[in-house]
Structures are given as C-alpha cells and as structure tokens.
C-alpha cells in the first residue's frame, strides 16, 4: 500500500521528463479497499482531517476511539482491483448504483480513508465536498472551518483571507460565521462546504452528490461554479445520480459496478452503458396478469424498454430516443390476425392521462400476424417527458373487438436528460414535458 501525494511525481526523475506523465493528475493502480465490519465500532482509522483539526484545536477529546477493540471481524471489499488515469483538466463523472463504491473512492482520493491494496498517485492539491459530516469539523465555527480547510490545502493565511469574502458570499452564511457548524442546517452546511471546496483553488475538486442536497437554485449555482473551476483547467471528479448534470459538466465518466470499474470513457457512452446495464429488472411480465378483459384473440405477454440499438433499458431519458416494446401472443385456434390496433395510454404519477400512443392516430397499418408471437415496437425519437414515474394502460383490438385490455399494466421511469443540450432541467412544478421551441427578440 502506498500513497504518493506531492506536487511532483515521486518516480519522475528530472532526467526522464515526460510530457505525457506531466499531464496526469490522478493515477489509480490496482486499488482495493477492504472494510472490516464489526458489531462494535467502525473502521479503525484516524481520518487525516481529525488529526489536523486536533492539532488545530489542540484538543485531545477528538482522538479516534475504539481502535483495535473489535470482537468479531468480517472482511468486505468495497472495491477491488480498480485502475484508471485522469488527466489534468479532465471533468470526470462517477456513476453507479448505491453501494457501488463511489463515495469510498472519493474518500480515498481525499485521503479520508486509507487504501488496502494498490497504489494512488495524485499530483496537486485536492479539495473535496464529501457526504455531509466528512469535510468540516462540527465543533469549529464556519470561519474556523474555512481556515482549517485552507490550511489542509496548504494555503497560507493571507491566501485564505483573500478568498474569504467570496466564499462567505457564495455560501450566504454571513450571519452564522461564528456559529459552530454542527448547529447549521444541512442546507447551510452544504453551501459552506461547497463554497470552501470550490473557492480555495484546488488543482483537483472532488464533489460527492452535492446536487442531491441543497435547493434547486443552489444546485444551479454549484454547477455553474464547477463549470468555472473546470474552465480554468482544473480537474473535477463529480458523483451524481443526475445524468443531465453529468452530461453537461463532464467530458468523461467512470461507471462503478459493485466495486469494479465497469467502464471508463466518453460521458455519453458511459451513461448509456449504465442505463442499459440496470435493465435486468425491467421486463414486465404480463402473461400471468388476471385483471384484464377482452376476447383474447391476442394478449399482451410482456413490456420492456429499449434504446435505439434494441438494448434493453431500465428507464428512459428525457430528450433521448427510446422504444416501448410489447410482446403479444395469439390465440392459436385463430388463423392469421388482421386489423390489429394497439393503444398505449400513459399516465403521470397523479394518474392523469398525459398521452396515448396509438397506431390508428399515426396511420400505421400492421401486417397480418401469422406466427403465434409478435413484438410491437413503439419508437420515440426524442422523449419529451420529464423525469418521473409513469404508468401505462394497454389496449388492443382486432377488427374493432377488444382483444386485450390491461389497465395500469405497469410503470416505467424517465430519468433526467439534457433535452435542450443546455444542462438546464425544467424547474420542479413547471409542468411535465418538454416542447421543442426557440426564442427570439425582434427589435422594433
Ligand atoms: N466505513 C465503512 N465501513 C464498512 N463498510 C462501508 C463503510 N463505508 C462504506 N461501506 C460499504 O462499502 C460499499 C460502498 O459504499 P459507498 O462507497 O458509500 O458506495 P456509493 O457511494 O457508491 O453508494 C457499500 O457496501 C457500503 O455499505
Ligand atoms: Mg455515496
């Protein structure tokens, strides 16, 4: 286990100056992180920040307790054998389901948690905004925490002082500067923590799920600030479940899956791989449904979502192409079925019918159904629905007689997507779908 944290590469001798190495900001080699689970206490480590803040406060009561006092131990790898390289100035989104190891990775890069196996090399100062509770010391005031974080980043008092007013203004916490941060609301805490991390001019900015906390206005402000930081050539690692934010901010992404690096590459591609890979859950079986009506000339047997390459999806994304696929099965005593007509009613979370996809409306005539099974594919070139949960009703007729009708046949999710390519989402409470449109000001 080895860490190299310095302004220069340890291995890089002045003789073997290599421009390609110079551009690497973070190198992770065969990194594994093992947690030791126990009934008594958490992991036996003393966080760097605790050490520094203990020194800062000269208080002994913050020493880590319980080290080496475990009764039962159980080993567990939060991630295993992860390797990647990040170049200076890269904006990297990190995605993956809960428990994939995203936060653990950021904690390792921020030196909050130790490496178990492998090696991490970092060039430059890292400022991080991690899960609430890791960045600041709760007993210290807002003002003290700003200085503490600055000194952790190796800044001088006067350097911090220069940034101080900007940080306070961005966080909107003037009135609470001399209050211990443990009394802050979670919103205030996150605002200050973000402001500190983003303004202290780190070479590398690490942000974990900040967009899940603060209000919509502040989220926008944070994204804007991260863009500024990125445009000044600094490296950003950003964990979020908001795919639109990742798409908008990040050029590349890493998909962590159960502690393994599934794929790293161009953000758009990694996001679509991630959405596809969660697909196993989402083919809805309709064959065994009892609550249906119709003469059963044919029946709906399953529903699934696919992307434009026919890969199964677990959810659709605003602004992206997608397909709703219905498997149907014919009553085998009937010969070829003609004049099939299918309708899919879509309801929002409030049960309000928002649209109906219907081959009569689109003027599509299906060929006759000759085999016992067929797939009905409904392609949507650019999904206008905003993120949320939708339910659907299926309705099928043959020669105007109802063959199969299933009310509330199932649900599907629509994820955030960058419909307009601006990174801006429809504000909450401002409707349920996107409309293609343009704005113009005409002077008179
Ligand atoms: N301090 C810890 N002690 C034991 N297990 C932990 C600890 N922190 C995280 N884990 C476990 O490690 C795995 C990865 O967690 P985490 O990095 O928080 O994932 P993510 O941020 O992707 O949701 C999870 O199974 C989690 O329960
Ligand atoms: Mg996490």
Asked if residue 205 lies in contact with residue 229, where contact means CB atoms within 8 angstroms, the answer is: yes
pLDDT level of residue 210 (50, 70, 90 thresholds): low
Say if residue 24 is in the same domain as residue 89: yes
Structure tokens at 344: 């899919």
| Ligand 1 site, residue 37, Cβ cutoff 6 A | yes
Q: What is the DSSP track for 218-242?
A: HHHHHHHHHHHHHHTT-EEEEE-S-
Q: What is the distance in A from the centroid of ligand 2 to the CA of 259?
A: 12
Top pLDDT among 235 and 63 is at 235
Residue listed under structure tokens 């443990």: 182
Asked if residue 91 lies in contact with residue 266, where contact means CB atoms within 8 angstroms, the answer is: no
Tell me the C-alpha distance between 84 and 30, whole Å. 9
Tell me the C-alpha distance between 325 and 310, whole Å. 10
Does the residue 289 lie in any domain? yes
Say if residue 106 is in the same domain as residue 247: yes
Ligand closest to 75 (CA) is: 1
Mean pLDDT of 110-131: 86
Say if residue 188 is in the same domain as residue 302: no
pLDDT tens digits along 42-98: 444 444 444 444 444 443 333 344 344 445 677 889 989 999 999 999 999 999 877
| Ligand 1 site, residue 103, Cβ cutoff 6 A | yes
Q: Which of 44, 101, 240 to mutate to test the pocket of ligand 1 (most atoms within 8 A of CB)?
A: 101
Say if residue 153 is in the same domain as residue 302: no
pLDDT tens digits along 264-320: 999 989 988 887 675 445 688 899 887 788 999 999 999 999 998 998 888 899 999
Asked if residue 131 lies in contact with residue 210, where contact means CB atoms within 8 angstroms, the answer is: no
Length of the chain: 444
Last residue of a domain, one of 277, 302, 330: 277
Does the residue 437 lie in any domain? no
Does the residue 31 lie in any domain? yes
Tell me the C-alpha distance between 365 and 27, whole Å. 57
Q: How is residue 269 annotated by DSSP?
A: H
Say if residue 370 is in the same domain as residue 401: yes
Last residue of a domain, one of 256, 277, 298: 277
Q: How is residue 423 annotated by DSSP?
A: S
| Ligand 1 site, residue 246, Cβ cutoff 6 A | no
| Ligand 1 site, residue 78, Cβ cutoff 6 A | yes
Does the residue 295 lie in any domain? yes
Say if residue 267 is in the same domain as residue 285: no
CA 272 to chain centre: 12
Which residues, other chains included, contact 354 with Cβ-Cβ below 8 Å and sequence gap of 6+? 346, 347, 348, 385, 390, 432, 433
Does the residue 303 lie in any domain? yes
The domain total for the chain is 2
The protein residue with its alpha carbon nearest to ligand 1, atom 12, reads 78
Nearest residue to 247 via CA among 424, 413, 430, 25: 424
Say if residue 318 is in the same domain as residue 250: no
Whether the per-residue pLDDT at 1 is higher than 50: the answer is no
Range of the domain at 305: 281-415
Q: What is the distance in A from the centroid of ligand 1 to the CA of 6?
A: 27
* CATH code, domain with 250: 3.40.50.300
CA 54 to chain centre: 34
Q: What's the chain's average pLDDT? A: 82
Nearest residue to 130 via CA among 147, 113, 148, 151: 113
Q: What is the distance in A from the centroid of ligand 2 to the CA of 337?
A: 52
| Ligand 1 site, residue 134, Cβ cutoff 6 A | no
Residue listed under structure tokens 């008594």: 40
Pick the range with the lowest mean pLDDT from 94-103, 118-127, 221-230, 345-354: 345-354
Say if residue 185 is in the same domain as residue 229: yes
Tell me the C-alpha distance between 128 and 109, whole Å. 9
Does the residue 8 lie in any domain? yes
- For residue 51, give the H/E element and its range: helix 48-57
Does the residue 443 lie in any domain? no
Q: What is the pTM of this model?
A: 0.61
Residue 96 CA, closest ligand 1 atom number = 22
Residue 239 CA, closest ligand 1 atom number = 21
Say if residue 19 is in the same domain as residue 76: yes
| Ligand 1 site, residue 102, Cβ cutoff 6 A | yes
Say if residue 262 is in the same domain as residue 287: no
| Ligand 1 site, residue 100, Cβ cutoff 6 A | yes
| Ligand 1 site, residue 75, Cβ cutoff 6 A | no
226 to 125, 214, 255: CA distances (angstroms): 16, 15, 20
Q: What is the distance in A from the centroid of ligand 1 to the CA of 168?
A: 32
Tell me the C-alpha distance between 164 and 153, whole Å. 14
Say if residue 247 is in the same domain as residue 297: no
Tell me the C-alpha distance between 261 and 104, whole Å. 13
Ligand closest to 260 (CA) is: 1
| Ligand 1 site, residue 33, Cβ cutoff 6 A | no
Whether the per-residue pLDDT at 12 is higher than 60: the answer is no
Say if residue 382 is in the same domain as residue 260: no
Last residue of a domain, one of 231, 258, 277: 277
The protein residue with its alpha carbon nearest to ligand 1, atom 18, reads 103
Does the residue 38 lie in any domain? yes
Which pLDDT score is estimated for 216?
65
């Amino acid at each position: 286990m080895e860490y190299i944290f310095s302004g220069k590469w340890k291995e890089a001798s002045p003789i073997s100056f290599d421009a390609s190495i110079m551009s690497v900001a973070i190198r992770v080699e065969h990194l594994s992180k093992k947690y030791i689970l126990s009934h008594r206490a958490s992991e036996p480590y003393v966080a760097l920040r605790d050490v520094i803040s203990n020194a800062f406060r000269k208080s002994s009561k913050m020493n880590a307790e319980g080290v080496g006092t475990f009764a039962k131990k159980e080993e567990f790898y939060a991630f295993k054998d992860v390797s990647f390289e990040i170049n200076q100035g890269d904006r990297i989104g990190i995605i993956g389901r809960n428990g994939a190891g995203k936060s653990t990775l950021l904690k390792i890069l921020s030196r909050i948690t130790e490496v178990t196996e492998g090696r991490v090399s970092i060039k430059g100062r890292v400022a991080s905004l991690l899960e609430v509770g890791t960045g600041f010391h709760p007993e210290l005031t807002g003002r003290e925490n700003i200085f503490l974080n600055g000194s952790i980043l190796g800044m001088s008092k006067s350097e911090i002082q220069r940034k101080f007013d900007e940080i306070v203004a961005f966080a909107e916490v003037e009135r609470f500067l001399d209050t211990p941060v443990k009394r802050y609301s979670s919103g205030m805490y996150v605002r200050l923590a973000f402001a500190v991390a983003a303004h202290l001019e780190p070479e590398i900015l690490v942000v974990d799920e900040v967009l899940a906390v603060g209000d919509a206005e502040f989220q926008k402000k944070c994204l804007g600030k991260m863009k500024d930081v990125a445009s000044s050539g600094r490296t950003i690692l950003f964990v979020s479940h908001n795919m639109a934010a990742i798409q908008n901010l990040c050029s590349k992404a890493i998909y962590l899956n159960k502690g393994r690096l599934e794929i790293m590459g161009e953000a758009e591609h990694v996001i679509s791989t991630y959405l596809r890979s969660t697909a196993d859950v989402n083919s809805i079986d309709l064959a065994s449904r009892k609550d249906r009506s119709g003469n059963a000339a044919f029946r709906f047997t399953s529903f699934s979502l696919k992307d434009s390459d026919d890969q199964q999806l677990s959810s659709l994304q605003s602004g992206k192409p997608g397909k709703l696929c219905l498997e149907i099965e014919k009553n085998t005593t009937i010969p070829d079925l003609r004049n099939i007509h299918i309708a899919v009613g879509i309801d929002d979370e409030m049960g309000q019918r928002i649209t109906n996809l219907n081959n009569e409306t689109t003027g599509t005539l299906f060929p006759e159904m000759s085999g016992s099974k067929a797939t009905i594919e409904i392609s949507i070139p650019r999904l206008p629905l905003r993120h949320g949960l939708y339910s659907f009703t299926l309705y099928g007729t043959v020669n105007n007689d109802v063959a199969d009708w299933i009310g509330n046949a199932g649900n599907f999710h629509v994820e955030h997507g960058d419909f307009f390519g601006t990174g801006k989402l429809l504000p909450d409470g401002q409707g349920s779908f996107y409309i293609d449109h343009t704005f113009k000001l005409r002077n008179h």
